[in-house]
A and B are shown apart, each in its own frame.
Chain A
Amino acid sequence: MRALLWMALSFMLAWPALAQDTAPDRSSTGGAQTLEDIMARQRGEKLDDSFRRDATGQGNVEALIGQLGTRGVASDSEVFRALRYGSANTTTQASGPTSTLLIQDSGMAWLTFREGPLLTYGLYLLGGMTAVIALFWLIRGRIMIEGAKTGRNIIRFLAIERFAHWLMGVSFIVLGITGLVLIAGRKFILPWMGLEAYATIALAGKWVHNNIAWAFMLGLAMVFVMWVHHNIPDRTDIKWLAKGGGLFSKGVHPPAKKFNAGQKIIFWSVIVLGVSISASGLALLFPFELPMFAKTFNILNMTGLPQLVTGGALPEVLSPYEEMQLSQLWHGIVAFVFIAIIVAHIYLGSVGMEGAIETMATGEVDEQWAKEHHSIWYEEELAKAQAKSGADRATPAE
């Protein structure tokens, strides 16, 4: 899933390079931009602007500065272009990662993508997942325990496991709601709520989102440590998947260990997406301190994957603002995919399957539920209990 998302992001970033045409004739303006260049830019088309980007006079300045000790021959326009494209040798009294970047123009592209495709397709994804779950519920109904309940319970999850699950789960739900308010609220809530009310909600949402993230990260780490050894893929997963996990037909119960293949997919999705969303979230929490996209793009370019998919390499030099903008966009993309997956998990873990909620509510399940959904794990637990019982009986009284 992460590889697919990287491919999608690679394609998105490198698409403009593919869309470039051959250099137009600019002889009428002496090589400067033409009206057609300006109009094309206003239409949102990506232009090969190297004819401006490279015309900064910096070369002349640097060559002459030692001889003349003046600004050299760079014109105001050339100096402006050097600032505009970030190639000026700038020094400022203020310190900080962004202090020498006087002009950055990637903000509109970021905002347009954030308010456009990211929000639109993200909401389509959540709506689509909801529709799929509703259709599944209409066709399959609630997955019931088919045999008679035994009345005997078996411990499925210890208290510490349930604590970690809920620590992550509760914080994730709050993060999801506040995140959606922050990204979609301006479009859907603000118009009927008004500026002041929405500003209050957005500010509170940002506070909650920023601070509750630590609980999510702690829960994620705990869940990984406690469950990773149960989620290593094995042969039983292939059999489970071949039968669709018995989700689509009654009376089918493919054998499974403590976690079946579907749960393993959820587990690894949560870990991979959780780490990724945490990394981008930390980059947003500590602005300009954790730039990671230029380095990541460098590694990706070395694999040749972006070039193979899009025909062009990903940018390996990014301004601090571009790093932040990409962190925000990636955070949003991962969040929408993450929420869509968790919506399905919440359905199957609650109303979608009889007995599932007890696994995380009380930590105990009926033996019949265990036999039907996790038969190998049930047999193992039974064998353990019998061995323990035998050992207790064999212990001589003092």
Chain B
Amino acid sequence: MRVFFLACAAVAAISVGAYYGLHAIGFSASDVASGTAVRLD
């Protein structure tokens, strides 16, 4: 079962990596609710 738990850890690591990776290139669908042309304030 060691491989199973390793895969679980990899899933978590890839998810967090994807989140910060997308932020690093200036995009994340998780946070963007509107375009830059729309002011929310």
Contact = CB atoms under 8 A, between A and B. Distances in A.
A214 interface: yes
A218 B14 contact: yes
B29 A285 contact: yes
A349 interface: no
A186 B8 CA distance: 29
A210 to B, nearest CB: 5
Interface in B3-37: 3-4, 6-8, 10-11, 14-19, 27-30, 35, 37
A214 B29 contact: no
Where chain A touches its partner, the secondary structure class is: helix
A207 B16 CA distance: 10
Contacts of A159: 3
Given A215-B10, A286-B27, A361 B4 contact: yes
Given A163-B3, A215-B10, A286 B29 contact: yes
B interface, size bucket? 20 to 34
A167 B10 contact: yes
A284 B32 CA distance: 12
A114 interface: no
- Nearest 8 CB-CB pairings of A with B: A166-B7, A94-B37, A211-B15, A215-B14, A214-B18, A215-B11, A162-B3, A212-B15
B30 A210 contact: yes
Nearest to A203: B30
B38 to A, nearest CB: 8
A209 to B, nearest CB: 9
Given A96-B35, A206-B30, A361-B4, A211 B10 contact: no
A208 interface: yes
Contacts of B10: 163, 167, 215
A174 interface: yes
A206 B16 CA distance: 14
Nearest to B13: A215
Interface string A199-234: 000000011101111110010000000000000000
Interface residues of A, number: 32
A167 B11 contact: yes
A171 interface: yes
A213 B15 CA distance: 8
A153 to B, nearest CB: 16
B1 interface: yes
A99 interface: yes
Nearest to A360: B4
Interface in A257-316: 284-287
A96 B36 CA distance: 10
A38 interface: no
A170 interface: yes
A363 interface: yes
A362 B10 CA distance: 18
B8 A166 contact: yes
12 contacts: A99-B37, A169-B7, A170-B8, A206-B30, A207-B19, A207-B30, A211-B19, A211-B30, A212-B11, A214-B15, A215-B10, A287-B29
